[in-house]
Amino acid sequence: MSGNRYDVTHNLENIVLNELIYLGYEVTVFDNRGRAIDFRATKGDKLYLIQVAYSVAEEKAYDREFSAFAGIDNTAKKIIITNDDIDYSTSTVYHYKLRDFLLMDEL
């Protein structure tokens, strides 16, 4: 909480982190040339780069979250997790709704 503001995105990041650990992923923060990606999750030989946001419906949020993946090749699966009902997947980034992510057994 910052002042009287409730930081929903930070709490969503904690939920995603806990779920990834529960599912057996090794999780760290990933630095993409000065741009932090929320999570680098690995399990076996699988690598995932994950951004978490409450919503990317606004252009500013969309640009901020998706640009974190700029310049990263496709050897890692790039994922964004939000509460949005609209599918924001692109040709290189998968979008998961938080509620769907929480029901998964694997990424």
pLDDT in tens, 77-105: 999 999 999 999 999 999 999 999 999 99
**What are the Cα distances from residue 45, in Å, to 36, 72, 76?**
22, 18, 10
Q: Which domains does the chain have, with CATH numbers?
A: 8-101 (3.40.1350.70)
Closest C-alpha among 87, 80, 73 to residue 16 = 80
Cα–Cα distance, 24 to 40 (Å, whole number): 13
**How high is the pLDDT of residue 35?**
87
pLDDT tens, residue by residue, 16-51: 999 999 999 999 999 898 888 999 999 999 999 999
**How high is the pLDDT of residue 1?**
45
CA atoms within 13 A on the CB side of 40: 14
Residue 5 has pLDDT above 90, yes or no: no
Residue 2 has pLDDT above 80, yes or no: no
Residue 4 has pLDDT above 70, yes or no: no
Phi, psi dihedral angles at 96 (to 5 degrees): -115, 135
